[in-house]
Amino acid sequence: MMAARQSSFRGVMLKNELMARHTSWRVGGPADHFYKPAGMDDLVLFLQQLTKNEPVFWLGLGSNLLVRDGGIRGTVICTSGALNDLVFLQDQRIRAEAGVSCAKAARFCVQNGLAKAEFLAGIPGTMGGAVAMNAGAFGGETWQLIDEIETIDSTGLRRMRSPNDYQVKYREVTGPEGEWIAAVYLKPKSNLADFSLKDEKGVGKKQIKQLLMLRNSTQPTQQASAGSVFRNPPGKYSAQLIESADLKGKCIGGACVSDKHANFIVNMGNASAMDIESLIEYVKRAVKQFHGVDLTEEVHIVGEPAK
């Protein structure tokens, strides 16, 4: 049971909210409780009143995520459109709350002279999610930019954490147990000569535009997907393995391997989460049989199957 003294905190509280409304694959059953805070202070109040041992699931833009048809037990906390403060600090760092979209952060970084952050524009998620999994695009990885982390725990207690408190790998991050990412601090890691404050020559803006054009030309951005489905195995590319196994266009129900990029599965409009998960397993088996390579999901699969 979740504490329900809504009057003490602001935000949107919903019961039995379909996760299909909040995921980029447009699938997913109901969450018992769905909360979008009005801001960080309200999130703290909410967590302080949450019943002990209530399961909590954090949600950003709903990309890189497959919620099963049975939905999520417990409480979903949505940061997108809620924890969205983005500021340039006097110490030349940028503070981005967890719900800030990576695309927005990329533009803001460029405007304020943070070097080599353009790749963030190619990550279809929020900064909280990008940091939690070390998301990357176009050769860049999120943790290249991280200077400090602000966390929050189940009691609403906020802490500052150093990158040294985390073990960061390819698409995998392990940090202090029981703490979630509330905000990140970004700082230039390269020589000052690599960037000019305020991007006076517009170089960063042009790079972002070029990266987005490349993304649109190589990925099915106009269809419902969750981004890359599988991690790249060492020394290999999942998309090439899947394509050479002749799996482009393979469908199960309303879910299909994209004809545009083989490491994307798209919802043709009527897919269930079960269709997508079944296709993920089919692709894994086929690539194993064809190449002898085990693919590992990059997308997170959560929730319960339909009853």
Instruction: List pLDDT tens digits, range 198-252.
Output: 555 577 888 889 989 989 999 999 999 999 999 999 999 999 999 999 999 999 9
Q: Is the CB of residue 8 less than 8 Å from the CB of residue 18?
A: no
Flag the least confident range among 126-135, 202-211, 293-302: 202-211
Please report the pLDDT score of residue 61 as a whole number: 96
Please report the pLDDT score of residue 145 as a whole number: 93
Q: What is the pLDDT of residues 268-288, one digit of tens each?
A: 999 999 999 999 999 999 999
Does the CA dihedral 242-244-246-249 come out positive or negative? positive
Determine the residue type at 141.
E
Tell me, yes or no, if the pTM score tops 0.85. yes
Per-residue pLDDT band for 5 (boundaries 50, 70, 90) equals low
Segment 139-149 mean pLDDT: 93
Pairwise CA distance, residues 263 & 162, whole Å: 33
Q: Which of 228, 238, 258, 272 is catalytic?
A: 228
- Which domains occur in the chain, in start order? 6-78 (3.30.43.10), 86-218 (3.30.465.10), 238-302 (3.90.78.10)
What is the full DSSP assignment across 52-120?
Answer: TT--EEEESSS-SEEE-TTBEEEEEEE-TTTS--EEE-TTS-EEEETTSBHHHHHHHHHHTT-TT-GGG
Report which of residues 8 and 265 the model is more confident about.
Answer: 265
Q: Is 171 assigned a catalytic role?
A: yes
Widest CA span in the chain? 59
Q: What is the mean pLDDT of the chain?
A: 92
Please report the pLDDT score of residue 198 as a whole number: 52
Q: Which of 17, 179, 277, 298 is catalytic?
A: 298
Q: Which two tokens stand for residue 122?
A: 């190619």
Q: Is 298 assigned a catalytic role?
A: yes
Residue 169 Cα distances to 63, 141, 307, angstroms: 20, 10, 36
Q: Which of 161, 171, 215, 231 is catalytic?
A: 171
Pairwise CA distance, residues 52 & 112, whole Å: 42
State what percent of residues in the chain have pLDDT above 90.
81
